[in-house]
Amino acid sequence: MNGPDVSTATRVDHVDLDVLENVLSFYIRVIDTKVSRDLDQRLANLEVAKGKGKITALLLIDSHPGIRPSVVADLAARDRSAMGRILDTLEQQGLITRQTNAEDSRAQELYITPKGAALAVKVREIVVQQSEDFFDRIIPQDEQKILIDILKRAYRRLQEAGK
Amino acid sequence: MNGPDVSTATRVDHVDLDVLENVLSFYIRVIDTKVSRDLDQRLANLEVAKGKGKITALLLIDSHPGIRPSVVADLAARDRSAMGRILDTLEQQGLITRQTNAEDSRAQELYITPKGAALAVKVREIVVQQSEDFFDRIIPQDEQKILIDILKRAYRRLQEAGK
DNA sequence: AAAATTAGTTGTAATTGTCCACCATCCGGA
DNA sequence: TCCGGATGGTGGACAATTACAACTAATTTT
C-alpha cells in the first residue's frame, strides 16, 4: 500500500532497478565486477592475480620497453602512487626492472625480465580467451564488435580529456 | 632492436595497448574506474559516498519495500557478506531498517526510513545526471542508446546465468 | 529424523584507492 | 645565474572492498 512494490522481492527475476534501469554507469559497473571476478579466478595460479592493474602494467612494459610509470598509470587509470606500488610488487617478483632515464633522472624506464616476458605470454592468452569466453555467453558476436568499437573511441576520448 | 617499440614511451597518445587493444573487459574496466571516480566526487557530501553498492542498495530498498539482502546482493553483483556490511552502515546511518520475515525467520525484510527516502531522491537525481554528463563527453547520444540496449540484455543474461 | 540448502553474520587477509606531503629534478623567465 | 613552478616518483595513513571460509540458525528435502 505504501510502496511501489509491496511483494517483498525474493527473486531476482524482473526486479525493477529503479532509475538504474537506464543508467549506463550501473551496467558498466556490474559487468566489470563480474568479468573481473571471473578473470581473477582464471589467473589464480599466476603471479599477477587480483586486479587488472598488474596485468595492464605487465603487458604494456612487455610491449613498450622503457615505458614510464606515469604513462602506465594513465593508461590503466590509476594514480601514480597506486601504480607505483603495483610496480613495486612486480619488481619484487622479478618480473620487471626499473632504470633511471639518462636524460631525465627523475623519470624511470621500465623493462620486462625474461621471467616477466614468459609470464606475459601466458597472461595474454588467458586475458584474451577469458574476455571472449565471458562475453560470448552474454552478448552476440556482432554486438560485441559494436561494443568494442564504441568503447575504444570512448576510451581514447577519456585519455585526451585527461589532458 | 629487441622490442616492438624502443622509443621509450613518454606520452599517452597512441600508445599501443598490446592485446588489450581489442579486449572488451579492458575497456569496461577502465571506463568503470573513471566513471566511478567521477561519481564518488559528486556524491562526496552525501552519506552514500564511495562505492556504488550503497547506492544500488538504497534505491532498491526504496522502490522495493521488504526486499531481501540476498536479492540486493545479487542485483548489485556482490556477495552476501559484502552486502551485509553495506547494509550495516546504511542501518547505522538511519537510512534503512531490517525486520525479520514472518514466514521465514532466516530472511530479512529491508525498509527505507524517511531519512533514507529523502536521500534516495537526491541520489537518484545525481546518479542519473552524472552518468549522462560523463558519457555525453565521450560517447555520442545515439551510440549511448545502443550501448544501454546491449548492456541491459547482457546484464539480464548474467543474472539468469547466476542461477 | 537426518541431511542438505539457504539466509545471514563474522573474521581475516589482501588489495585498492585516496589524499597528502615530500624529495629530487627539470624548465622557464627575470 | 638564480628562483619559482611544474613534473616524476615515493611513502604514510586510512578507509573501503573483496574474497574466502567458517559458523549459526532455520527451512526444506528425502
Four-CA torsion B85, B90, B96, B100, nearest 10 degrees: 20
Question: Model confidence over A115-156: pLDDT tens digits?
Answer: 999 999 999 999 999 999 999 999 999 999 999 999 999 999
Question: Tell me, what's the pLDDT at B88?
Answer: 93
Amino acid B15: pLDDT: 76
Q: What is the largest CA-CA distance in chain A?
A: 73
Which chain B residues contact residue A158 at CB under 8 A?
30-31, 34, 138
Residue B145 has pLDDT above 80, yes or no: yes
Domains and CATH numbers, chain B: 18-161 (1.10.10.10)
Task: Tell me if B24 and A144 make a contact (CB, 8 A cut-off).
Answer: yes
Residue B17 pLDDT class (50, 70, 90 cuts): confident
> Radius of gyration of chain A from Cα atoms?
20
**B chain contacts of residue A29, beta-carbon cutoff 8 Å:** 32, 35-36, 52, 77
Q: What is the DSSP string of A76-132?
A: HT--HHHHHHHHHHHHHTTSEEEEE-SS-TTSEEEEE-HHHHHHHHHHHHHHHHHHH
- Whether residue A119 contacts residue B130, with contact meaning beta carbons closer than 8 Å, is answered with no
Structure confidence by residue, pLDDT tens digits, B93-132: 999 999 999 999 999 999 999 999 999 999 999 999 999 9
CA distance A38 to A119: 19
Is the pLDDT at B142 greater than 70? The verdict is: yes
Give buried/exposed letters for A42-79 (b at 16+ CB in 10 A, else e). ebeeebbeebbbbbbbbbbbbbbbbbbbbbbbbbbbbe
* Minimum CA–CA partner of B66 in chain A: A8
Who's near B86: CB < 8 A, 6+ residues apart? B51, B53, B54, B57, B78
Helix axes A24-43, B52-63, angle to 10 degrees: 130
Separation of alpha carbons B114 and A156, rounded Å: 43
By the CB < 8 Å criterion, does A93 face chain B? no
| φ, ψ dihedrals at A41, nearest 5° | -65, -40
C-alpha B131, offset from chain centre: 11
Q: Regarding beta strands A96-100 and B108-112, do their DSSP bridges make them parallel or antiparallel, or are they unpaired?
A: unpaired
Cα A48 from Cα B20, distance rounded (Å): 16
Q: Point out the residue among A17, A30, A158 whose CB comes nearest to the CB of B34.
A: A158
pLDDT of A51 over the 80 cut: no
Q: Quick one: pLDDT at residue A162?
A: 66
Q: In whole numbers, what is the pLDDT of chain B averaged over residues?
A: 87
Residue count of chain A: 163
- Structural contact between residues B18 and A59, judged by C-beta atoms closer than 8 angstroms: yes
* pLDDT band for position B8 (cuts 50, 70, 90): low
Give residues with Cβ within 8 angstroms of B73, minimum separation 6.
B79, B80, B82, B83
Which bases of strand D sit closer than 7 A to a protein CB? 7-13, 15-22, 25-28
A5 CB and strand C closer than 7 A? no
pLDDT-derived band at A1 (thresholds 50, 70, 90) equals: very low
Mean pLDDT of A55-60: 91
Using the predicted structure, report yes or no on whether residue B43 has a pLDDT greater than 60.
yes
Interface contact flag, B158 A34, Cβ < 8 Å: yes
